[in-house]
Amino acid sequence: MTSVDVARRAGVSQSTVSLVLSGKGRGRISAPTEAAVRRAAEELGYRPNVAARALRTGVARTVGLVVPDVTNPFFGRVLRGAQRAARSAGYAVALVDAGRDRDWEIASIEALLAGPADGVLLFGIDAPADTPGHAVAIEVAPGALPVVRLDVEAGTDAAVGHLLELGHRRIGHLASAVGRSTFRARAQRLEAGLHAAGLEPVATAGAPMEFDGAAAAAAPLLKAGCTAVFCDDDMLAGGMYLAAREASVAIPDELSVVGFDDLDFARVLNPPLTTVAADPEALGAAAFAALAAVMAGSPVEAEQVLPVRLVVRGSTGRPAA
Partner DNA sequence: TTGTAGGCGTTATCAC
Partner DNA sequence: GTGATAACGCCTACAA
Identity (one letter) of the amino acid at 63? V
Using the minimum distance from each CB to a second copy, give the nearer residue, 10 or 214: 214
DSSP string, 27-82: TTS-HHHHHHHHHHHHHHT----HHHHHHHHS---EEEEEES-TTSHHHHHHHHHH
Binding to DNA by CB under 7 A, coded x per residue (else -) over 37-66, reads: ---------xxxx--xx-xxxx--------
Using the minimum distance from each CB to DNA, give the nearer residue, 114 or 320: 114
CA distance 40 to 35: 9
Q: Does 211 bind a second copy (CB under 8 A)?
A: yes
CA distance 227 to 217: 17
From the list DNA, a second copy, none, partner contacted by residue 29 (C-beta under 5 to 8 A by kind): DNA
Name the DSSP letter for residue 267. G
Least Å from the CB of residue 310 to a second copy: 20
From the list DNA, a second copy, none, partner contacted by residue 72 (C-beta under 5 to 8 A by kind): a second copy
Q: Does 208 bind a second copy (CB under 8 A)?
A: no
Using the minimum distance from each CB to DNA, give the nearer residue, 26 or 309: 26
Among residues 206, 248, 227, the alpha carbon closest in space to that of 315 is found at 227
Pick from 25, 68, 201, 238: which binds a second copy (CB under 8 A)? 238
CA distance 56 to 50: 10
Rg of the Cα atoms in the chain? 25
From the list DNA, a second copy, none, partner contacted by residue 95 (C-beta under 5 to 8 A by kind): a second copy
Q: Does 313 bind DNA (CB under 7 A)?
A: no
Q: Does 132 bind DNA (CB under 7 A)?
A: no
Least Å from the CB of residue 12 to DNA: 3
- Other beta carbons within 10 Å of 1: 12
Q: Does 33 bind DNA (CB under 7 A)?
A: yes
The number of residues that bind a second copy (CB under 8 A) is 46
Residues within window 128-147 making contact with a second copy, judged by CB under 8 A? none
Q: Does 79 bind a second copy (CB under 8 A)?
A: yes
User: Which of the stretches 160-168, 182-190, 224-232, 266-274 binds a second copy when contact is defined by CB under 8 A?
Assistant: 266-274
Using the minimum distance from each CB to DNA, give the nearer residue, 45 or 198: 45
Strand 274-277 versus strand 309-311 pairing type: antiparallel
Pick from 27, 47, 130, 198: which binds a second copy (CB under 8 A)? 47
Q: Does 92 bind DNA (CB under 7 A)?
A: no
Pick from 95, 177, 247, 306: which binds a second copy (CB under 8 A)? 95
Identity (one letter) of the amino acid at 311? V
The sign of the dihedral angle between the CA atoms of 117, 123, 125, 131 is positive
Number of helical (H) and strand (E) elements in the chain, helices listed first = 11, 12
Pick from 191, 210, 254, 303: which binds a second copy (CB under 8 A)? 210
Beta strands in the chain (DSSP E): 62-67, 92-97, 119-123, 134-138, 147-150, 171-176, 203-207, 228-231, 256-261, 274-277, 303-306, 309-311
Site for a second copy, rule CB under 8 A: 47-52, 54-55, 60, 62, 70-73, 75-77, 79-80, 83-84, 92, 94-97, 99, 110-111, 114-116, 210-212, 238-239, 241-242, 245, 264-265, 267-270
